[in-house]
Structure 1
């Protein structure tokens, strides 16, 4: 690891404008996460086009701050109102709101703050040490290895879609189909363009993301029952004092095993492309539920600590495959892919060699963002939740729509970007209503060009022999793991069916 480059990046990150940008991003992320309907993905989708006019050392600290803090900010309404500000705080609402009803709102917010910052800092350290290491090793990857790696990334989506395998597979296949629109990289022949000039270069990624994660939420907000929303906003009013949010050392020692186990789980899940934050959250909470049984849901501190540590540990670790291999770990880190491309950078093994200043700046900003998030989180926990009820839903929906349309237009200075965002806004709304996950779609959309290019290069090197993929040791190992991920749901179903049969006998 290049310690001199890391120290130089740390020194630059603490200079005036990058530090102010990071503080602004963390503050914005906390506010955005506290507003139901908004999340880090929507905010980044709106901010990415704006960063085109910013210097890279200002743009990336802003995006990193939003990404780190919005995930934690969703815990505010989840605990106080039992309204998850983000999808990552769904399980936090269960035990968190139960503590509020017991008059322990400050204690619940303190547990969420400590858990998020502890796990986020560990995740950032994983990014510091593993991203450049993986990038150096990835320089040895050939076309066969890249093909197998992308196939492995797609297979993890299906293999981890517990109880939802068919929907994950459908979402993934649809992403592959959308990625095929445009000119074939091998023959130059147009595919699925329907003689439309705008489709020759394919569908632009950023307007698709803006539609899926921005406009779909606007449609959802407009369709939401106003009466149900008003009823959900009835708050159990408990005064929140600063000293209540400071945890005693005895509670910190009690929660430490939960933080460590949930952080380790979240880091592993985050590094796997496409596995998703919700997988880590539910797995971490399930471990707590097995341990404490019926006490879960009754205001158990571990019930807050586990999901908050798991979701924040995914944040930085999901950037490991993006920065080192050019493969986004989840849909939010895919937006960072768009930001890097807008700045003229190409994520992957060469990023730390070609643009080490930017690569190390992004890495070190994740560490600083989690450290800054602790005092800001404790400070804003008393004030930010009041914004939840202060902004009318129609006004919020109109503001989000305006920002989304502006961002979609700014990508290519074309109305075509707005049309793409509108179409995929409807697609995202339908997916949400049908409970079809979006992460497989995004991952397939990003990986499809890499898979296609690597496949044709491998065929050219091997003279058209498919055995080339299994004669390369690293490629064969990744294809073996791919088979395991695909067969795991079938094995699990057969295993539990056999156990039920034995129990019945």
Structure 2
């Protein structure tokens, strides 16, 4: 690790404009995360095209601030209204709202704030120390290793699909098919273009993400008959600042839960494609096994575990992106677009060619998580009132306008809007059919890397498939891929054998 570059990036991060940009991003993330229907992915999808006009030292602190704080902001409506502001707050709503009904809303918000800050800071340290080290080893990666790594990333979203392995596999397949649209890198002939010259370069990634995560939410709002539903019991819940400051006894009680959930979150975050929801459910399941029926009744650990897990995934998911050029989840895939817009190429060369920007990004993750604590406590009394005052119809119209603007700005073309609308409908259908989006996005991003690495490997080996298993690192990753693929089948067989009497 280049400690001199790390210290220089840290000093630069505390200069006026980068620091203001980072604090603005943290504040914006808390606000958008607390508004049901908005999340970090939608916000980043809208902001990424805007960053084209911003210097790198202002654009990336802004994006990092939003990414770090948005999943925590979703805890506000989850706890107060039992309306998860983001998908990562679904389990927070269970025990969090139960505490609100018991008159402990302030304590619940305090637990969420402490848990998010603690786990996010640990995750940022993982990013700081492991991303540059992994980038150094990544220089030894050849085509076979990149191919095996991408296949491993796709297998994780199938094998860790939380009971949804078939739908995850289907989403992966659809993502691979969509990625094949355009010119073949091997033969140079167009594929699935139907003679449309707009498709020769393939479908643009950012409008696809805007449609899947932005316009799909608009369609969901317009179709929901319960969009104006509110939990009347939480309308007048008082939130006092003193209640949000946890006593040392509560901190000591929650510390093992924070450490366990953070370890799970960092492990899942580093795995390409595993996803935040996997970490949340794994962490909450451990709490449920320990406390049994007390879960769901206002258990503090029921808030601490999912909040620590989701925030620990945030920074660790950037480790494979910055060091290997492979996004850890669909949100970090937007960072890939931001880096490319700024003329940077994520991967092993990022820390050697542009160390100032690479280390600035990792340092900003640490500062953003530390800034999230005071800002979270401050906004915890302001944001709940904002949540109740925003009409859903107005929110849907604002999201649609921002999505159309961002999709058009990518190529100054209506084609971007058409792509966004098409994938907005696809995203809406995925949500209704409960098909996960992360496998689709990961397959879409990894497909070009897989294809390029495969053909390069075939060229180096003279067309021998055995080349992939003769390379030690590639063989090890393919072995893990096999384990992830057979894992759901093994669990199903074990479950059925236990159900058979005798």
Q: Could you state the TM-score of these two structures normalised by the residue count of structure 1?
A: 0.98
Find the aligned partners of 1:30 and 1:401 in 2 and give their Cα distance.
20
- Alignment correspondent of 1:211: 211
Paired position in structure 1 for 2:139: 139
| Counterpart Cα distance in 2 of 1:182 and 1:252 | 54
Corresponding residue number in structure 2 for 1:367: 366
Cross-structure match for 1:394: 393
* CA displacement at 1:232 relative to structure 2: 4.2
1:396 alignment partner, SS class: helix
The aligned counterpart of 2:277 is 278
Query: Which SS does the other structure have where 1:402 is aligned?
Result: helix
**Structure 1 residues 252 and 482, CA gap change in structure 2 (3 angstroms):** same
Structure 1 stretches lacking a partner, 5+ long: none
Q: Does 1:346 align with 2:345?
A: yes
Contact 1:157 1:275 in 2 (8 A): yes
Secondary structure at 1:240's aligned position in 2? coil
Moved more, 484-493 or 228-237: 228-237
Q: Residue 297 in 1 paired to residue 296 in 2? A: yes
User: Mean alpha-carbon deviation: is it higher for 441-450 or for 382-391?
Assistant: 382-391
**Contact 2:158–2:484 (8 Å) recurs in 1:** yes
- Give the Å deviation of 1:236: 4.5
Report deviation, 1:497: 1.7
Partner of residue 311, structure 2: 312
Aligned counterpart, 1:500: 499
Instruction: Tell me the number of residue pairs that the alignment of Structure 1 and Structure 2 aligns.
Output: 502
State the alpha-carbon separation in 2 of the partners of residues 321 and 83 from structure 1.
32
- Shift in Å at residue 170 of structure 1? 0.6
Contact 2:100 2:234 in 1 (8 A): no
Q: Secondary structure at the match of 1:229?
A: coil
Is the 1:101–1:236 contact (alpha carbons within 8 Å) kept by the matching residues of 2? no
Secondary structure in 2 matching 1:21:
helix
CA displacement 1:440-463 (0-9 Å, x = unmatched): 000000000000000000010111
Relative distance call for 1:234 and 1:200 in structure 2 (3 A) is: farther
Partner of 1:12: 12
Determine if contact 1:233/1:389 at 8 Å carries over to the other structure.
no
Contact 1:159/1:489 (CA < 8 Å) preserved in 2? yes
What displacement does 1:233 show? 6.1
Provide the C-alpha distance between the structure 2 equivalents of 1:390 and 1:231, rounded to a whole number of angstroms.
11
For 1:438 and 1:499, locate their aligned partners in 2 and report how far apart those are by CA, in whole Å: 32
Per the normalisation by structure 2, the TM-score is 0.99
Paired residues for 1:246-261 under 5 Å: 246-261=245-260
Check conservation: 2:75, 2:89, Cα contact below 8 A. Answer: yes
The alignment partner of 2:69 has SS state of helix
Q: Deviations over 1:103-157 (max 9, x none)?
A: 1111000000000000000000000011001000000000011111111111111
1:39 aligns to 2:19 (yes or no): no
- Find the aligned partners of 1:313 and 1:480 in 2 and give their Cα distance: 27
CA offsets 1:333-386 (integer angstroms, 9 cap, x no match): 000001001101111111111111111000000000000000000000001111
**CA deviation after TM superposition for structure 1 residue 394, in Å:** 1.1
Q: Is the 8 A contact 1:17 1:58 kept in 2?
A: yes
Q: Does 1:425 align with 2:424?
A: yes
Deviation at 1:231, TM superposition (A): 4.0
| Match in the other structure for 1:127 | 127
